[in-house]
Every structure is written in structure tokens, then in C-alpha cells.
Amino acid sequence: MCPPALIPFRPRNPKTRLSALLSLEEREQFARAMLEDVKAAVKDAMCSPVLVCTELFDSDDVQVTVTDTDLNGTLNGILPDSIGPTLIIMADLPLADTAAVRRMISTEKDVAIAPGRGGGTNAIFMKEPRRFHVDYYGTSFLKHMKIAQEAGLSVDVVDSFRLHTDIDEPWDLAELLIHGTGKSRAFLESLGFILSAEKGRVGVERVR
């Protein structure tokens, strides 16, 4: 089984909440490095990455390019045509590893959901994507639980901090420097980011 893994990705001006720490060019490179880490985890778990990009993106990956930026409309346009099990996974999960992706796709339930912090949804695996639709933004985790329930689909909530930890805010970078092993951690380190302890809570600082 090599299910497709749809990975929404925004190549231009991504991760604006990191603007205080990273320049536009650095944010674009960082987003791409995180994407590479997610792709590596997904491929090692025997899934086939399919980038869902807001614009044409220079890569060798299979791509779906969409002109509008409505993630829900885009994905819900793709799912009804999906003929087999399908994974959707966010591109900003550089801690994702093969084991976590395998736990998603080996679920015994109809749907597996990996919640993100603050009620988000970081990954969804659907055995029958035609019977599901997505509703991102806000407390999408609760919305997806309800969508599954209303469709009569059983759900496995995958308990993984590696899939729970999306990188959005400056303090999230500490998680990457602690637990990351891939390209995005190396990229941060190449820019001079290190862990710093401030009043007990660990953060990051940029030393060059």
C-alpha cells in the first residue's frame, strides 16, 4: 500500500509569525526545509507525497497547483476523486517521523486524526476519502470529529507530540532544536539559532 499523502504548501511568504526572527528569504527556505522533513517521514512510511501548492513550485514532486487559497475548497475538490486510502499532512511538522506516520496509516478505524495544538488538525488519514470532507481553521479537530461521526466513520485520535507540534511561533523553534533531526533543524542551526534558558522556560536565541 502506497497511499498518496497530500501536503498543502505555500512557497511564497510562509510562516509570517516568524518574521521577527527570519527574513522573507529565510522563511521561504525554512518552510521548504520543513517540507523536506515531512516528505522524508512520509516516504519512509511508504506514502507518495503530492504537494498541494498555491502556485507552481520548483521541485521534482508530484504537484497539484491551485489558484485560489481556500484550503478547504481545494482539498474537498480532490477527495471525491480519491479512489483509495489518502493521507493529508501539514508541511510544518518537521518533528514528524516514520513511526508516527505509520501509526496514522495502520489505523484499524475508518479515519485517523492527529490533532494539532490549539484544536487544529495536523494530519488526517481516510480509508474512504469520498465519505469524508475537511473543514480546517479554528477548532478543526472538533469539526473533523463531528464530520466523521455524522458520516458514520470510526475515528482513531493518534496520540503523537511529533504530529501535534506545528511550527508557527518563535517559541516553537525550541521544540525543533530539541527534537528535530532533519533538514529544518540543520537549517536553523546554520543560521545561528541555539537553545536558551530564560526564567526556567526554554526558548531560542540567534547568536549570529
Binding site for a second copy (CB under 8 A): 97, 99-100, 115, 117-119, 137-139, 141-142, 157, 159-165, 171, 174-175, 178-179, 195, 197, 200-203
Q: Show Cβ contacts of residue 75 under 8 Å, excluding neighbours closer than 6 positions.
A: 6, 8, 52, 88, 134, 136
Q: How far is the CB of 179 from a second copy (least distance, A)?
A: 7
Burial of 134 (0-12, 13-18, 19+ CB in 10 A): buried
Write down the least CB distance from residue 119 to a second copy, Å. 4
Least Cβ distance, residue 187 to a second copy (angstroms): 20
Q: Select 2 or 70, whichever has its Cβ closest to a second copy.
A: 70
| Distance of closest approach, residue 21 Cβ to a second copy, in angstroms | 17
CB closer to a second copy, 69 vs 171: 171
- Kindly tell me which of 32 and 144 has the beta carbon lying closer to a second copy: 144
DSSP symbols for 186-205: HHHHHTTEEEEEETTEEEEE
Q: How far is the CB of 85 from a second copy (least distance, A)?
A: 22
**Nearest residue to 75 via CA among 12, 35, 135:** 135
The secondary structure element, H or E, covering residue 86 is: strand 86-89
Nearer to a second copy, 92 or 175 (CB): 175
In the complex with a second copy, the residue whose CB is nearer, 50 or 193, is 193
Q: Is 204 within 8 Å of 173 (Cβ atoms)?
A: yes
Residues with Cβ within 8 Å of 165's Cβ and at least 6 positions away in sequence, in order, are: 93, 95, 116, 117, 172, 175, 179
